[in-house]
Chain A
């Protein structure tokens, strides 16, 4: 009888173990509590991009060095974000000499950093600076980025010394250029 129970426990744990593996393998499934331990160790591995909580990130929203900053909030799972990324890349390349800098802020979750974010940035050959904002207290920090922000992405903040605008929307290349022009003149 005891043996039978042991068997069942054994079989069950094997079955569960397999289940977990498939879960971790699939990019869309995440944040099971048991995944979190894994996520934490991931964090200490050298992810290619800086990982900030909001407190560490906030100074990047308030630089006072004469540059115009385009801060784009995105994630690899956000389709409209992916669609507009090439426009930000193009602007970054074209406007470099105009004292403009694009910063791409990834909101990907920790278990996507290695599996999705890094390969994505590499594959697309992205040149703009990428940082990861990893702070679950979203209700606290979203309004600090902009009171206007409901939490949807794509979202973009453009600012310099004189001016600051927030956009909870996707951009075309032309629209982005138009908005940027308002900051450069």
Chain B
């Protein structure tokens, strides 16, 4: 209940389209699949990845300084975990009318520039991020594929130092994925970080 209250507050901070599912996901919830357009023009769904054991769904964008700071690290996460069955699926949740730098064309350009190895999808109409409860970029949701659906296992930041990858002391996402792959309990299930509000 308290969490809900916080979420309502935080969603209130952003100018977003109406009819939001203000609940968002908590740990253990089953996350929705989607069909969103990738920068290569193809539609991508989680269910396309037949062999996947899970997914790193990362809401990110071109224009946020924090997202930019993490681009190389997101590439590295995909390189490390896609072969182990947990690919990165990046989603840009911003409305290009509010943030012209996050248009589909600009997404293509940025992905090419940074050699994104992962799908970079556009949340057209901003229908997916509110269901997840993403409030900022970058915002990570680690999902585990189970018989019940894609279960949320971790929500939060990539690591504990946005500024300098070499100064990171706790790799939140890597620790969570490693635990998931090892069938162990994830110790830190949620973390907080400053990020850019989704608009």
Contacts and interface: CB of A to CB of B under 8 A. Distances in A.
A142 B192 contact: yes
B32 to A, nearest CB: 21
Contact of B192 (A29, A150, A169): A150
B25 interface: no
Interface residues of A, dominant DSSP: loop
Contacts of B9: 148, 167-169
B85 interface: no
A77 interface: yes
A87 interface: no
B68 A30 contact: yes
Contact of B68 (A31, A142, A152, A154): A31
A152 B164 contact: no
Contact of B194 (A30, A140, A153): A153
Interface residues of B, number: 38
Contacts of B12: 168-169
Nearest to A148: B6
B171 interface: no
B163 A138 contact: no
B165 A168 contact: no
B65 A31 contact: yes
Contact of A80 (B13, B68, B165): B13
B160 interface: yes
A136 interface: yes
A120 to B, nearest CB: 14
